[in-house]
Chains A and B, each alone.
Chain A
Amino acid sequence: MKIIQNGLNRLRVLASLGATVATLGFGATQARAAWVLQDNFETNLTSTWQLGHAGVGGGVYETSGDYSRSLNNDVYIYSTTGFSSVGRTVIIAPYFAGRNVNTRAYIYLRPYQANVKVNFEVIDPTTWTYIALKTVTLVNNGSYQLVMTDVFVPHRSDVYVRVSVLGNGTTTTSVDVDDLTVVGDATPSFQPTYWNDGSTIQYNNNCYNYSNNRRTDTFAQPGRATGHQYTQISIAAVSSAAISDGLVPTTASAVSPNGQTKIALVIAPGYDYHWYRQDSNGMWTHKPGSTAATNVDNSGNVIYNPETANRGVYTQFAGYFFTPSDAVQGQGHANIN
């Protein structure tokens, strides 16, 4: 007889997601969201999740709500020898060729009647090698326990996420499996030492380079890469030039569906333009020209909101844009020069 626990309601599902993202370290103090896939095992359970085993063991799709962590469904896997597993393909939406996406997977597991050794695996489906592997021994305490991988960078869009119970060769051990979350983030963190080298990188990469997180060593200008460089310093002219480079206008509250990074344009009319970028922690940073990248405004305060920061003579706030950034400093993918 399995331990019985009532299914949880939707509020608990949402609460668990918030806790999961915060644990990942991508939790933002500002409105910024990483790409998140959440699978609570309720939709297309049997076609999405595949059971497997080698040796003595197996698995069961459970839909009664008696054993699930959330709502009705979960999967029960058990093994005596070899291993038993349940897994599914996950498409990492922010990924495209060459893009580094910091990714982490989370899942809830509940041992049944005995301690159990499990693998939480992220697998390259072509080579069938591990991209990430977390091996843990869970203590049988009657509760679902959160297991997470380390942060990994998948160099492909599709990965196979799997939980395996490792048989001990003598007795049967098992777990209930529920509530997978995968979080991917290609937005960089604030790492000023990369940009502030007091040499080539610092002197030849300006605010446009920094906000797009792309080192070109050319003091990049909006529109130059596409032959549509601005001809005057105005909101309309610089915005239009940036759009020609592939940047996408957006709003303060919008969240990119494919993990793009939010940047902001401000104007000193007739004088100059400037860009900020929102980092992975939700705060804003910038690089004033050939000087150092910094996380503070003209008053020396950290920047929660570029619209209200002390921007000196850059008094006009032009708006927000999305850029195809990268988790690695200087490796952004916007078409700038």
Chain B
Amino acid sequence: MNKYLFCLVSLLPFLSFSVNAQTPVAPNALRVELLMFSGRPNPVFTITDPAEIRDLTARVNALPKNSIAAAAQTADFPVLGYQGIVVRNMSAASPELDSILVRRSNVRINRKAGPQAKAAQAQAASVSSAGASASAAPAAAAAEPSELRVDGGNALENHLLSLARNRGVLDDALMNHITSQK
């Protein structure tokens, strides 16, 4: 099975922490890929240390949600060169989180469309069709497939780049390339 197929689960815990009162299942492996090359394989490393995963989770959950206006400003087509960092869930035990895309101050959390998300969407659709106000939607309905957070100081991106350098997958030359394109 392809290594990327395991990534679908990783975003779930972050989303669950912030939008659902149920106890989430934390991922036990996160695959971090620096999106910078087109032809060559991208630098990749894996986080399996529970403490590092908890730290990363906390960093993401601490980010405020982005506004609709800010989200609309996010470029939505692929480009050549550094495009940010994607963190993918490699754990089958936390099936709701898919990936986290980090680029400068924009952080996008992508959830896998699991049974819980589908149920929430169905419930939201039912409420909408009954003419209820948006505020009447239950908390579960907020578990959207994609959610934007804002990281004003780019701290999360810098943290991941620092981890990449510590893991030896990002040398000075590549770091300079990223810095010049950020």
Question: Which A residues form the contact surface with B (CB < 8 A)?
Answer: 199-200, 203-204, 206-208, 217, 219, 221-222, 233, 238, 268, 270-275, 286-294, 296-298, 300, 311-314
With A291-B83, A292-B78, A298-B79 known as contacts, the answer to whether A274 contacts B39 (CB < 8 A) is yes
In the bound complex, CA of A297 to CA of B80 (Å): 8
In the bound complex, CA of A270 to CA of B174 (Å): 10
In the bound complex, CA of A286 to CA of B35 (Å): 16
Enumerate B1-33 residues with CB–CB distance to A below 8 Å: 2, 4-5, 33
Nearest CB in chain A: distance from B40 CB, A: 5
Cβ contacts B63-105/A at 8 Å (1 or 0 each): 0000000000001011111010000000000000000000000
Q: List 9 A-B contacts (CB under 8 A).
A: A221-B39, A268-B81, A270-B173, A271-B37, A271-B177, A287-B78, A289-B35, A296-B77, A312-B79
Contact status B4-A300, CB under 8 Å = no
New A-B pairs, 13, CB < 8 Å, besides A270-B173, A273-B38: A203-B2, A204-B2, A206-B39, A207-B39, A221-B39, A233-B40, A268-B81, A288-B78, A288-B79, A289-B36, A289-B38, A296-B77, A298-B80
Contact status B2-A289, CB under 8 Å = no
Q: Which of B36, B38, B174, B181 has the most CB atoms of chain A within a 10 A radius of its CB?
A: B38
B-side contacts of A293, CB under 8 Å: 78
Question: Which B residues form the contact surface with A (CB < 8 A)?
Answer: 2, 4-5, 33, 35-42, 75, 77-81, 83, 173-174, 177, 180-181
Q: Which of B40, B41, B173, B181 has the most CB atoms of chain A within a 10 A radius of its CB?
A: B40
Contact status B39-A294, CB under 8 Å = no
Nearest A-chain residue to B98, judged by Cβ: A198
Q: Which of A199, A203, A274, A300 contacts B38 (CB 8 A)?
A: A274
Contact status A294-B173, CB under 8 Å = no
In the bound complex, CA of A208 to CA of B173 (Å): 24
Contact status A272-B5, CB under 8 Å = no
With A292-B78, A300-B77, A311-B80 known as contacts, the answer to whether A200 contacts B5 (CB < 8 A) is yes
In the bound complex, CA of A203 to CA of B88 (Å): 12
With A272-B40, A274-B80 known as contacts, the answer to whether A290 contacts B33 (CB < 8 A) is yes
Contact status A294-B38, CB under 8 Å = no
Nearest B-chain residue to A201, judged by Cβ: B2
With A270-B173, A312-B80, A313-B81 known as contacts, the answer to whether A288 contacts B4 (CB < 8 A) is no
Contact status B39-A289, CB under 8 Å = yes
B-side contacts of A273, CB under 8 Å: 38-40
6 closest pairs, A vs B, by CB?
A291-B78, A312-B81, A312-B80, A203-B4, A274-B38, A273-B39
Nearest CB in chain B: distance from A238 CB, A: 8
Q: Which of A219, A221, A238, A290 has the most CB atoms of chain B within a 10 A radius of its CB?
A: A290
Nearest CB in chain B: distance from A281 CB, A: 19
Nearest CB in chain A: distance from B120 CB, A: 21
B-side contacts of A275, CB under 8 Å: 38-39
